[in-house]
Chain A
Amino acid sequence: MNNRNIVIGIAGSGGDGVVSAGEILVNAASSDGLFVFMLKSFGAQIRGGESSVRVRISDLPVQSQGDRIDVMVVLSWSNFLRFKSELLLQEDAVIVSDTDDPMSDDSIPLNELQRTNWYKIPFSKLATEQTGSNLAKNIVMLGAISELFTLPKEALNKSVKKKFKTKTDDIIESNIKAMQAGIDYVREHIEKKDPLRFEYEIRSPRLVMQGNEAVAMGAIYAGLEFYAGYPITPSTEIMEWISRYLPQRDGITMQMEDELASINAIIGASFAGRKAMTATSGPGISLMTEGIGLASMAEIPVVIINVQRGGPSTGLPTKTEQADLMQAIWGSTGDSARVVIAPCDVEDCFDCTVMAFYISEKYQMPVIVLSDQFIAHRTESVNPDAIRGSKEGFRKVYTRDVPDEEQLKDYRRYQFTESGVSPMSFPGIAGGEYHASGLEHDERGYPRGDAASHQKMTEKRWKKFEQIKEEFRFERFYGPLDAQLGVIAWGSTKGAVKEAVNKANAMGIAVGALIPQLIYPFLLDPFNEFMKSKKRVIIPEMSFSGQFKRYLRGFIRFGDYGVKDVAYAKAGGSPFTVEEILNKIIEEWKDMEASR
């Protein structure tokens, strides 16, 4: 049997080099142009402790992490057992483990089939023989599995060399020997019992990126000039990356004392005419709420990345959830105009960030990008052309409107205009001096406390949405648009939904999906198009209280379309699997058929 798609799990203790092995595998596959998706998982320890990776490699585009593992590589059984609930194996999964693992075979929970497909290879012993230490056992392992499952061997060789490129030639050489030892051992001592062989065509290399890196890159592409932030999992990598590379483009990064400071610092930078951004997660966004309202009131462009994690409160810092939706859209005192965009995969993190800057600079308001831990920390192979801009995607960069000479003669910062947008001056522009405030104000920015002024200024701020809605259609449809059964989801749930919808259609179940990327303002047109043929719509989301469904219900009455809306709401922690979504589709489809 030749597979064009393989899911490999690797588990071990902190010192086993699990993550390094995963990264080498990902780099090798990406350099051969394959589609890759990697998730990492760690124990609670800050250093050391157990770790696991799940690497999906495919000759075809992949949308999700892959529900079940085809090849489980175990560097230490005791550590594997800690991840047992996260690493679901195929019924006929192939197992590869160290011959000298101290755990007895009987105490290892495998079925008959898996026991038959179990190869034991002395990783540690071979590593010690070749390199004098057992550190390279992960490299021996990579050699062994490349031989067992026909993985891209030459590319692996290159990736190993690249991994150790800062080390001495001796170290590189001994790692290459370690890899060869793994290959040789399989050739000489292992009789292949399982049918699994990976087959693929070599294409041009793809880039390897995590969601947080794509956000950071997107911000740089959009012309970010000032970043202020406070470290918080799972957003921190954005700041780490930017603090290193933004100065290479003459930009400023400031680590602030808290998130209150971060949001106000970027408001200050933007007031001073710079493109400014911060990134945070749930607890941080709570602290920024007042500042977001200020940016809204004073019409100051800022981009806020919220990498969602499990909540409320400290919640699940290293796990994903989609339950900051309502906070992003409505989280403020008063009626605070802002835009909310949600990326749905790594490449989209780049697009959405570029778009966030465009909207915030053009419409002078805060834009919140709702990413989540599942996208932020996954590694995907990305089409380099997509990032470089030769592929379709959002690549427009906007430079803020400043007042012209005529306007500067009698400058009114908050002048009433048809679009609601008024030219924004900044320090350095003579004649453009003005007062801005969190207080309600008149056209010149001076405080006004009367109801009529408040009504008129609020209308001005909200009027901008009309133009935003005209300018953007930002959603994705999957499957047949005219199907009677539909799925509406947002953000990182897209992957599992798209794959499940494709599978269902291949099984003969007609089902379509709608994934809006521009979450707020709400665009009715795509929903109207989608709903036309629908009888039933499933709404899967990682929000226990079903925030997305409640949000949709605020704008559309499913009953008016003759549509039954079916909630599929669960608390976060682990993302949806394709199987979960597919089962739900099948269940609802059967129910529809039965009642026909």
Chain B
Amino acid sequence: MNEAKKAAEYRSELKPIWCPGCGDFGFLNALYKALEELQLDTANTVVCSGIGCSSRISGYVKAYTFNGIHGRVLPFASGVKMSRPETTVIAVGGDGDGFSIGAGHIGHAARKNINITYIVLDNNIYGLTKGQASPTTPLGVRTKTTYYGNMGTTFNPVRMLIAYKASFVARTFSGDPKHIQKILVDAVRHPGFAFIEVLSPCVTFRGQDQYKILRDRVRYLDENYNPENEVEAFDIANDENTLALGVIYKKIRPTYDEIIQQNVISKAKAASNGIAKIDKLLEQFQP
């Protein structure tokens, strides 16, 4: 048996480009530790991302990693997972990538229950383009594109994901890397689509006080909390003043690859008596 891998061995040679104080550092360190705890094989792990500050993460991990285009990390991750189900797939992006340009994909990855982990590092702002409003920027906040104050009501990602029937919905905070690590391990082990919202402050464009503001707002879910009660989960999600941290909703149901193997491939191969030969398929075109 090989020696156990250390967190540092999941680190790539690339150095993060983030600003000092960025919440994403806390997450990245927790990710390395979670990979160590899970002892994932780098050759069978894919970390992929979209575009944005947080999407740079894929480059910082030693595994098969992919930094694709804006908003499309979930379709990419679905393609990887469905074509190679033995791979552990971790998809990462920001609030702009996931809830604005890529919002159309979340519901479908969730309802299909693609067995991947999807992490949104939510900093309430577009950071890479230097400070424009995102779907989670609070109402009234001045940004470079909302000079007179942000006009749209803020997205509630957790509520959205429960409504989409995501089979695992959690929230954590980059001010508490240990908590992130625990949630990440649970999410990767969860058989199905696991969503994690990481409250990850952007000190550059949302202010140095973000950590303090969030620390005052967050609370940890009770150890006895049962995440399988959908109504209770919605209640918790609806509380936008106190942000609950932990696994807010969870429901085990068949994953997409299980359904495809059991209900599609097995039926198809029964119909064709095993792997269909080309000549056999051609028979249907005989007059």
A positions within 8 Å CB-CB of B: 26-31, 159, 162, 205-209, 213, 217, 220-221, 225-226, 228, 244-245, 247-250, 252-254, 256-258, 260-274, 276, 290-291, 294, 298, 381-382, 384, 387-388, 426-439, 446-447
Interface residue? B238 (CB, 8 A): no
Are B87 and A387 interface neighbours, CB within 8 A? no
Are B264 and A207 interface neighbours, CB within 8 A? no
Are B80 and A271 interface neighbours, CB within 8 A? yes
Interface residue? B276 (CB, 8 A): yes
Instruction: Select from chain B the residue with minimum beta-carbon distance to A209.
Output: B285
Interface residue? B223 (CB, 8 A): no
Bound together, the chains give a CA A28 to CA B287 distance in angstroms of 7
Instruction: Select from chain B the residue with minimum beta-carbon distance to A210.
Output: B285
Are B59 and A272 interface neighbours, CB within 8 A? no
Out of A253, A384, A433, name the residue touching B42 (CB < 8 Å): A433
B residues 17-46 near A (Cβ < 8 Å) are 41-46
B residues 61-101 near A (Cβ < 8 Å) are 62-69, 71-72, 74-84, 86-87
Instruction: Select from chain B the residue with minimum beta-carbon distance to A273.
Output: B84
Out of A159, A209, A213, A294, name the residue touching B69 (CB < 8 Å): A294
Are B105 and A261 interface neighbours, CB within 8 A? yes
Question: How many residue pairs at the A-B interface have CB separations less than 8 Å?
Answer: 200
Residues on A with C-beta less than 8 A from B66 are 268, 271, 298, 435-437
Are A221 and B278 interface neighbours, CB within 8 A? yes
B positions within 8 Å CB-CB of A: 12-14, 41-46, 48, 51, 58-59, 62-69, 71-72, 74-84, 86-87, 104-105, 107-108, 260, 264-265, 267-269, 271-272, 275-276, 278-279, 281-282, 285-287
Question: Nearest Cβ distance between residue B265 and chain A, in whole angstroms?
Answer: 5
Residues on B with C-beta less than 8 A from A294 are 68-69
Out of A256, A268, A291, name the residue touching B83 (CB < 8 Å): A268
Q: Is the interface of B mostly helix, strand, loop or mixed?
A: helix
Q: A272-B79, A427-B87 are in contact. List 10 more A-B contacts (CB 8 A).
A: A30-B287, A208-B285, A208-B286, A228-B79, A247-B269, A256-B75, A262-B75, A294-B68, A435-B66, A447-B67
Are A264 and B75 interface neighbours, CB within 8 A? yes
Are B83 and A428 interface neighbours, CB within 8 A? no
Are A254 and B82 interface neighbours, CB within 8 A? yes
Residues on A with C-beta less than 8 A from B62 are 433
19 A-B pairs, CB-CB below 8 angstroms?
A: A26-B287, A207-B287, A213-B285, A220-B278, A221-B278, A245-B281, A248-B272, A248-B275, A248-B281, A250-B275, A252-B260, A261-B74, A261-B78, A261-B108, A264-B69, A271-B64, A271-B76, A272-B84, A435-B67
Residues on A with C-beta less than 8 A from B264 are 247, 253
Bound together, the chains give a CA A348 to CA B158 distance in angstroms of 51
Of B14, B43, B272, B279, most A-chain CB atoms within 10 Å:
B43
Bound together, the chains give a CA A381 to CA B285 distance in angstroms of 9
Instruction: Select from chain B the residue with minimum beta-carbon distance to A434.
Output: B64
Out of A254, A264, A382, A447, name the residue touching B68 (CB < 8 Å): A264
